[in-house]
Every structure is written in structure tokens, then in C-alpha cells.
């Protein structure tokens, strides 16, 4: 059974084949999927990414050695034991060009890789109370960080970054590869420089010349007061480090509001419910309800009806500009299910004050209403 490493795609699922599929079934599935998702014929918004995934899956499953390694460890990259992604040039470099060559008559050129590090995304959960006042959260992140031994340069002592001798700085190489249509000469991404055109003459032994190493670290996220569901916080330089000292990406953290036990947020306003008895509803009174900064006293007006909402101005969520929304308390008027003897006597006395109409049957009241 295949164990898929963290962050690694299920290649069998990508191609839509079973795990015991033979070579001919894998090749047939690849041809069909590649034709359907090719960016030149597909209108899908993520056609390029899907096309890359299909090629990556075929590169692994069509190679007996890589497939065996993938089935055992969930990855075909020997450096993936830590669960960190391989260099983008190693993952996507050659295979993509084989497909372009197969479908574009051998004219597809390799796409040079960007040396800059990619942005990374994450999400954190915060309570309504934390979002109202602002909070600092800690988040464990695994990323490719600048190599400490070479300070991110990728070069050992005495080494330097030079024009790649294998591709002459173009980031591309012509190679003979076996494709679906036989042997073809294709233009592929240069493996030595990861398609950047720059390489290290004396690579750092710790990072193999890439200038970056896997790292797990804890970062602090300052969530501003008034944050909403979907608010993002950007930490510059805390994304993926760039190759050999190139600029790194950012860490973009999205905020998810945790559901509150009592309060519900709509826009800038908070909504909650409170139960009052018939005496409080009729005479008015004060009830205490949970708020963002402790209990809130709510003035219930006399004559309140079931379902009425009482508005407490300024007790809602803070806005990023400094003002606040309101709190709406929806009333549930509770009638005693089993009134005591004394309560029944009082209710009968109250009913008597409403006049004879309160004692008339529903049919009699309907006739009164119709004027009969």
C-alpha cells in the first residue's frame, strides 16, 4: 500500500488508475488526461497546474525504480524523507518539457524557474474575544529557510555563483529523451542550475549549493483588533527562501473565527438570545447576557414580545477604524409549563383584568372580529 508523504500528491489518483495498474494502463491514462488538460485546449483556470501534476505523476509511475520507491515511501525523491518538498527544478524540470515536446512537435522549450522563494499560506483560529481585542498567536511552520552554514549563498568557503557551465546561462539544455513517440531531442530545464542559469562552482556541503535548508520554526502572528473571518496577516520573508540568496517569499496567514457559544457575528454587529419570563416581558427589567468583554446589562422594555430584539449600541465588534458595531439581543418569552398553585391564582386574577373578551372562546372571538 502506498504511503503518501505529507505534501505529496497521490499519483495514482492524479492519473485515475488503480494501484495495481500495468504500464499500458498508466500510459493510456496519461495520454487521455494530458490531451484533456493541455493548456492549449483546456479552458480550466488551473490548466497549467493540472498539466504539471499529470506529467509529474507519469514521470514517477512509468519508471519502475521511481514507482517502487513511491509505493514504499510515498515519494520518489530520496531527499524527501523529512517531508519537505524538493527543489522546484527537480520536481517539474524535465517531465514538463517531454509533454510539450510530445504535443507541440518537439518545439516546447523549458520554462526557466524563478530563483525567488514562493509565498506560503497558513490559517489560525481565533475566538471572537481575541479578534475584538487583538491577540498574538504562535504558529509552527515548516519551510525552506536560508542555509545557516553558507548564509544562504549556496557556496562553500572560496566558492562563488557563476554562469552555469552546463547550459551557458540559458537555464535550458537539449537532451535526448524517450517519449511516447520514440526518441526525441527536447529542450529541458537544466538540472544543475534548476533552470536559473546560475550555479555555484564550490557548492556548500550542507545545502548542496541551493542556499536553503528545511527548517521547522515557531513564528508569532499579531492579529489586529477588529479582525474578521478571512483577515490576512503577511509576514515578510517568512515564506520559502530563494535559491542562493535570491529574495524569499512571505508567509500569508488567514484568520478563521472560532464559533462562539452564545454570540453570532453578522457584519459588525453581534447577535445573541436571552430568555425572559412573562412578568419581565410585561413589566420590563434588566437581564445580563455574555459580551465580548464580560457580561452586558440589557434593558428589556415593558410590553416586549417573543422574538423582539433589543439593541445595545456600541457593544458589537470593533471595526479596524476604531468604532464598534451593536449588540442585538433576541428575546425568548418563557411561559411556565407547570405553574405553581400561587402562580395560577395570580394569572387568573390577571386574566380577570382583561375583561370578558379574554374568556370568550376562539369561535366567539372570531364572530366578534367579523362583526357577527
Both 149 and 249 in one domain: the answer is: yes
Look at residue 82 in the predicted model and tell me its pLDDT: 34
Both 291 and 367 in one domain: the answer is: no
Both 137 and 248 in one domain: the answer is: yes
User: What residues contact 16, with CB distance under 8 A and at least 6 apart?
Assistant: 29, 33
Residue 211's alpha-carbon distances to 78, 143, 205, 286, in angstroms, are: 19, 13, 10, 66
Residue 140 lies in a domain: yes
Residue 297 lies in a domain: yes
Residue 129 lies in a domain: yes
Both 329 and 347 in one domain: the answer is: no
Q: DSSP string spanning 49-74?
A: HHHHHHHHHHHHHTSHHHHHHHHHHS
Residue 99 lies in a domain: no
Residue 352 lies in a domain: yes
Residue 94 lies in a domain: no
Both 277 and 351 in one domain: the answer is: no
Look at residue 30 in the predicted model and tell me its pLDDT: 83
Report the number of distinct structural domains present in the chain.
4
Both 153 and 219 in one domain: the answer is: yes
Residue 49's CATH number: 1.10.287.110
Look at residue 298 in the predicted model and tell me its pLDDT: 94
Both 204 and 298 in one domain: the answer is: no
pLDDT along the chain (372 residues), means of 10: 54 90 87 70 69 84 82 61 36 38 37 74 93 92 89 87 85 71 72 80 87 89 91 92 88 93 92 92 91 91 92 89 88 88 84 64 56 50
Both 175 and 135 in one domain: the answer is: yes
Angle at 78 between CA 72 and CA 79, to 5 degrees: 130
Both 38 and 142 in one domain: the answer is: no
- Asked if residues 208 and 171 have their Cβ atoms less than 8 Å apart, the reply is no
Q: Which of 83, 98, 130 is the last residue of a domain?
A: 83
Distance CA 277, CA 203 (A): 78
From 57, 22, 55, 24, select the one nearest 37 (Cα to Cα). 55
Residue 105 lies in a domain: no
Look at residue 272 in the predicted model and tell me its pLDDT: 94
Structural domain boundaries enclosing 230: 120-257
Both 35 and 130 in one domain: the answer is: no
Both 154 and 185 in one domain: the answer is: yes
Residue 285's CATH number: 2.60.260.20
Residue 208 neighbours by CB distance under 10 Å: 15
Residue 62 lies in a domain: yes
Both 348 and 328 in one domain: the answer is: no
Look at residue 43 in the predicted model and tell me its pLDDT: 61
Amino acid at each position: 500500500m502506498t504511503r503518501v508523504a505529507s505534501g505529496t500528491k497521490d499519483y495514482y489518483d492524479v492519473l485515475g488508475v488503480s494501484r495495481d495498474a500495468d504500464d499500458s494502463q498508466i500510459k493510456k491514462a496519461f495520454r487521455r488526461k494530458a490531451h484533456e488538460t493541455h493548456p492549449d485546449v483546456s479552458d480550466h483556470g488551473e490548466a497549467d497546474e493540472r498539466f504539471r501534476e499529470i506529467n509529474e505523476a507519469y514521470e514517477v509511475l512509468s519508471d519502475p525504480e521511481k514507482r517502487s520507491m513511491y509505493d514504499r515511501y510515498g515519494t520518489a525523491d530520496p531527499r524527501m524523507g523529512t517531508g519537505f518538498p524538493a527543489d522546484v527544478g527537480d520536481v517539474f524540470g524535465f517531465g514538463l518539457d517531454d509533454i510539450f515536446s510530445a504535443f507541440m512537435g518537439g518545439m516546447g522549450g523549458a520554462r526557466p524557474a524563478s530563483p525567488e522563494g514562493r509565498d506560503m499560506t497558513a490559517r489560525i483560529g481565533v475566538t471572537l474575544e481575541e479578534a475584538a481585542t487583538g491577540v498574538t498567536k504562535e504558529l509552527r511552520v515548516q519551510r525552506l529557510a536560508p542555509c545557516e552554514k553558507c548564509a544562504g549563498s549556496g557556496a562553500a568557503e572560496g566558492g562563488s555563483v557563476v554562469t552555469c557551465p552546463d547550459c551557458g546561462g540559458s537555464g535550458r539544455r537539449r537532451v535526448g529523451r524517450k517519449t511516447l513517440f520514440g526518441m526525441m531531442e527536447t529542450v529541458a530545464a537544466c538540472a544543475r542550475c534548476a533552470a536559473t542559469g546560475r550555479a555555484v562552482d564550490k557548492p556548500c556541503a550542507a545545502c548542496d549549493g541551493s542556499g536553503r535548508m528545511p527548517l521547522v520554526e515557531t513564528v508569532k502572528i499579531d492579529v489586529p483588533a477588529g479582525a474578521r473571518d478571512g483577515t490576512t496577516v503577511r509576514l515578510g520573508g517568512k515564506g520559502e527562501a530563494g535559491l542562493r540568496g535570491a529574495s524569499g517569499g512571505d508567509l500569508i496567514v488567514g484568520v478563521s473565527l472560532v464559533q462562539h457559544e452564545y454570540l453570532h457575528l453578522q457584519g459588525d454587529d453581534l447577535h445573541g438570545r436571552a430568555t425572559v419570563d412573562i412578568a419581565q416581558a410585561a413589566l420590563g427589567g434588566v437581564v445580563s447576557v455574555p459580551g465580548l468583554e464580560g457580561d452586558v446589562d440589557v434593558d428589556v422594555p415593558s410590553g416586549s414580545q417573543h422574538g423582539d430584539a433589543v439593541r445595545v449600541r456600541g457593544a458589537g465588534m470593533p471595526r479596524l477604524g476604531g468604532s464598534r458595531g451593536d449588540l442585538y439581543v433576541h428575546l425568548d418569552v418563557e411561559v411556565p409549563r407547570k405553574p405553581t398553585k400561587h402562580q395560577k391564582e395570580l394569572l387568573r386574577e390577571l386574566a380577570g383584568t382583561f375583561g370578558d373578551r379574554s374568556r370568550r372562546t376562539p369561535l366567539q372571538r372570531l364572530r366578534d372580529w367579523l362583526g357577527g
